Amino acid sequence: MAISQDKTTRDKKRVSESDSHMRNPGMPFDIDMFQDININRSAVERRVATLGKRRSVKKEWQAAWLLRAITCIDLTTLAGDDTEGNVIRLCAKAKQPVRTDLLKALGMEEANIQVGAVCVYHNLIKTAKQALQDTKIPIAAVSTGFPAGQISLDQKIRQIKKSVAAGATEIDIVINRAHVLLSDWKSLYHEVAKYREACGDAHMKTILATGELSTLTNVAKASYVCMMAGADFIKTSTGKESVNATLAVSLVMVRMIREYFENTGFKVGFKPAGGIRHAKQALEWLILIKEELGDEWLHTSLFRFGASSLLGDIERQLEHHVTGRYSASYRHPMG
């Protein structure tokens, strides 16, 4: 049942290589770089329909991919009834996301498997910081009037600065969707550039709320503009829209990331979020990233899942790999 040592060594080498990219500094606004983009939805849908059919990941390879997926999860709690106790439990799970007996059976007990980050509201940053003080797990905070973003720009800037001062090392911001819907790309650029400046050394993940942008062409243009403005990651959704992360939207966004890299030499990360609950879905997104961007992006510094329940299903699948039996979901609680 153990994952082969050769594969573990290759993964460690890949991690060290992919973690060394330079941060995207952004660039001056240039409408000529994106104004002619036009996305063919039918072609996008045909492409994503092949993802689960052209590749089949089984047995120890599936277990290895699922362990990689865990390291790319932003373990998230963004509920109205969040308490300090919930966040403490979440952080405990972030530090030990897979049961020790399963890791031992997989030969990965020394691999220090942890999630990519813990994501909370601003008022719970302090609790998360205390719970994670003995780790290097980043703390991400949602900001700028999350999820709707319907507050003033000055308020948004203050929110970012307060969260950074409180200890957040990553900031998930939301854009003003109206700029996209009105094709006011210059205003979108300047808004996001101001967010990036307010973030300082904290990495900025820019949430497009793609379910509210009307067209895939808008998604593509918004992705490019946000990268021009200095986004470290572009993220599909808040998780609060009626339509959240889809493979079609993700394909469009990762191809914009590829184009931006080809044009500038800077790598930008990608984060699908909202509605990703099952291990099978995680594998589909990993396949998408591998095929469209390559192994360099299959690392926590360039790829994240925004999820709250995905981890439980992945752990359940790993238990099936080890024991040959499926357990009830309640055997894999948050913490």
Name beta bridge partners: 30.
Answer: none
| CB neighbourhood size of 306 (10 A) | 31
Name beta bridge partners: 120.
Answer: 141
> At 142, phi and psi to the nearest 5?
-80, 145
Given the residues 11, 172, 232, 313, select the one marked as catalytic. 172
Given the residues 74, 221, 271, 313, select the one marked as catalytic. 271
162 is an active site residue: no
313 is an active site residue: no
Residue 83 to residue 85: CA distance in whole angstroms:
5
Residues contacting residue 20 through CB under 8 Å, at least 6 positions apart: none
Given the residues 95, 235, 267, 313, select the one marked as catalytic. 235
Residues contacting residue 327 through CB under 8 Å, at least 6 positions apart: 316, 319, 320
User: Taken in order 76, 81, 85, 89, is the CA torsion positive or negative?
Assistant: negative
DSSP 273: B
280 is an active site residue: no
Integer Rg of the chain from CA = 19
List the catalytic residues: 172, 235, 271
